């Protein structure tokens, strides 16, 4: 339904957050400007065809769409065709290739056994360190769940490389549930809907942004003074960056990708993890396996390295340990003093968000905004609990 009084709205960032909120508000009749500092849309989900091989590459790391949210699934399917895709991950450890997440095949192969589910459950319970009653750290949690052998082969080195610190320094909450399956299901995700956009994520975001009320400006960095030019701003850039980091920087991990090509099939799967500390990278992604319906003779692979994010790097994973949470609280307080800016998305709210959650929150934010406008109520700095 078109509103009679249309507002001038600025969306900072052309990732899923900015695109979906922008689309919803444009459809409601508002005039929407989307800016992004990068030369492309889709944020960290950006995909492009590799010039040398023709393979669709996930430029900022592998992205698999999975969700239980029917509305979000229908939403993304409105703008592009999704192909069936099941994420199956392998890991190389101790000179062998195993299946992840740890399942009955992994357990039987690792311990050189042929156990049935009940036997394996009993066996793993016997491995678990039951002297740890209330696990506080990642390491304790893993030892409590799976015991030392599986912890050292599959969690310790990978986690150390991923987070740049020993698992005994990380909170137990990172390893939430029992990370083991007592059957042969090696589908990485449990969600009802899973797939890959046939022409990549950038094409999908292009479809979302394609609306006559949306004007898009790439290579355009947002400056805080611009707030005055608009009725409201939705900001999906880094929360601390909005305030020029004046209270300090929120910690992130960043990723470096070492690209290499191969003639043929390099590793036979999309993602191969490397759990051992002696291997400096965390995983190798072979992008053509994300599009199994396509055929390419050549192959593009990324070796992925994780490290602390410096000011000029792309922020990937928020760290959210005790120090960061204290600083975050101060920035949230500052943000709440503003009256025309709403902070959204993974960077604006300093949380790791899967794409489906990002889209869900974007839809809810747009609806929340429209309701506030309709009822002449103030629009909050955050629609979610950060």
**Which residues in this chain contact ligand FAD in the complex, by CB under 6 A?**
12-18, 35-38, 43-45, 61-65, 221-222, 236-237, 255, 316-317, 345-347, 353-356, 358
Query: Using the 8-state DSSP alphabet, how is residue 152 labeled?
Result: I
Burial of 72 (C-beta count, 10 Å sphere; 0-12/13-18/19+): buried
| Closest to ligand FAD by CB, 60 or 110 | 60
Q: Using CA atoms, how far apart are residues 218 and 216, in angstroms rounded to an integer?
A: 7
* Strand order across the 31-35 sheet: 214-217, 31-35, 8-12, 232-235, 341-343
The answer to whether the beta carbons of residues 186 and 103 sit under 8 Å apart is: yes
In the bound complex, what is the minimum distance in angstroms from residue 316's beta carbon to ligand FAD?
A: 4
Whether 88 is catalytic is no
296 token code pair? 């390419």
Catalytic residue from among 27, 354, 367, 372: 354
Q: Please, what is the end-to-end C-alpha distance for the chain in angstroms? A: 31
In the bound complex, what is the minimum distance in angstroms from residue 105's beta carbon to ligand FAD?
A: 23
Q: Concatenated DSSP letters for 210-257?
A: --TTEEEESS----GGGGGGSSEEEE-S-HHHHTTTTT-PPPEEEEEE
291 token code pair? 């599009």
Q: If phi over 0 gives left and psi between -120 and 50 gives alpha, with beta otherwise, what is residue 244?
A: left
Catalytic residue from among 75, 151, 240, 283: 283
Catalytic residue from among 23, 181, 320, 360: 181
Q: If phi over 0 gives left and psi between -120 and 50 gives alpha, with beta otherwise, what is residue 54?
A: left
Whether 351 is catalytic is no
Whether 283 is catalytic is yes
Residue nearest to ligand FAD as judged by C-beta position: 43
Nearest CA to 275 out of 62, 61, 94 is that of: 94
Nearest CA to 222 out of 43, 349, 41, 36 is that of: 36
| Closest to ligand FAD by CB, 65 or 138 | 65
| Closest to ligand FAD by CB, 82 or 316 | 316
The answer to whether the beta carbons of residues 37 and 221 sit under 8 Å apart is: yes
| Closest to ligand FAD by CB, 145 or 252 | 252
What's the chain's Rg over C-alpha atoms? Answer: 22
| Closest to ligand FAD by CB, 37 or 329 | 37
Whether 352 is catalytic is yes
Whether 181 is catalytic is yes
Catalytic residue from among 78, 112, 177, 244: 177
Catalytic residue from among 121, 249, 253, 367: 253
In the bound complex, what is the minimum distance in angstroms from residue 230's beta carbon to ligand FAD?
A: 14
Whether 304 is catalytic is yes
Q: Using CA atoms, how far apart are residues 263 and 79, in angstroms rounded to an integer?
A: 34
Nearest CA to 286 out of 6, 88, 46 is that of: 88
| Closest to ligand FAD by CB, 110 or 188 | 188
Q: Using CA atoms, how far apart are residues 385 and 356, in angstroms rounded to an integer?
A: 17
251 token code pair? 């910690």
| Closest to ligand FAD by CB, 15 or 135 | 15
| Closest to ligand FAD by CB, 62 or 147 | 62
Catalytic residue from among 152, 206, 286, 304: 304
Which residues are identified as catalytic?
Answer: 177, 181, 253, 283, 304, 352, 354
């Amino acid at each position: 339904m078109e509103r009679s009084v249309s507002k001038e709205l600025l969306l900072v960032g052309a990732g899923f957050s900015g695109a979906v909120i922008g689309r919803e508000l444009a459809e409601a009749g508002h005039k929407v400007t989307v800016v992004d500092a990068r030369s492309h849309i889709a944020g960290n989900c950006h995909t492009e065809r590799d010039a040398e091989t023709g393979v669709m590459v996930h430029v900022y790391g592998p992205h698999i769409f999975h969700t239980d949210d029917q509305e979000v699934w229908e939403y993304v399917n409105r703008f592009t065709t999704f192909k069936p895709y099941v994420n199956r991950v392998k890991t190389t450890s101790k000179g062998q290739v195993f299946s992840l997440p740890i399942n009955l095949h992994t357990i039987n192969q690792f311990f050189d056994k042929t156990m049935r589910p009940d036997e394996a459950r009993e066996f793993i319970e016997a491995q678990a360190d039951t002297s740890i009653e209330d696990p506080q750290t990642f390491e304790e949690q893993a030892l409590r769940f799976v015991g030392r052998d599986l912890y050292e082969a599959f969690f310790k080195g990978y986690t150390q490389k991923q987070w740049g610190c020993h698992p005994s320094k990380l909170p137990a909450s990172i390893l939430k549930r029992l990370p083991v399956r007592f059957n042969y299901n090696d589908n990485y995700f449990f969600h009802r809907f899973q797939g890959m956009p046939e022409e990549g994520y950038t094409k999908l975001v292009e479809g979302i942004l394609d609306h006559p009320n949306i004007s898009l400006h790439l290579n355009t960095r947002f400056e805080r003074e611009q707030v005055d030019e608009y009725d409201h701003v939705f900001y999906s850039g880094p929360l601390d960056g909005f305030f020029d980091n004046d209270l300090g920087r929120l910690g992130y991990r960043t990723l470096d990708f070492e690209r290499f090509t191969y003639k043929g099939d390099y590793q036979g799967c999309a993602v191969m993890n490397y759990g051992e500390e002696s291997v400096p990278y965390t995983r190798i992604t072979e992008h053509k396996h994300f599009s199994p319906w396509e055929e390419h003779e050549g192959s593009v692979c990324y070796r992925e390295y994780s490290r602390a994010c410096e000011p000029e790097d792309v922020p990937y994973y928020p760290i959210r340990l005790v120090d960061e949470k204290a600083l975050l609280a101060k920035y949230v307080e500052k943000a709440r003093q503003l009256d025309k800016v709403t902070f959204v998305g993974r960077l604006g709210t300093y949380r790791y968000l899967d794409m489906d959650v990002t889209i869900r929150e974007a839809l809810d934010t747009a609806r929340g905004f429209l309701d506030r406008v309709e009822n002449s109520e103030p629009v909050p700095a955050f629609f979610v609990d950060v």
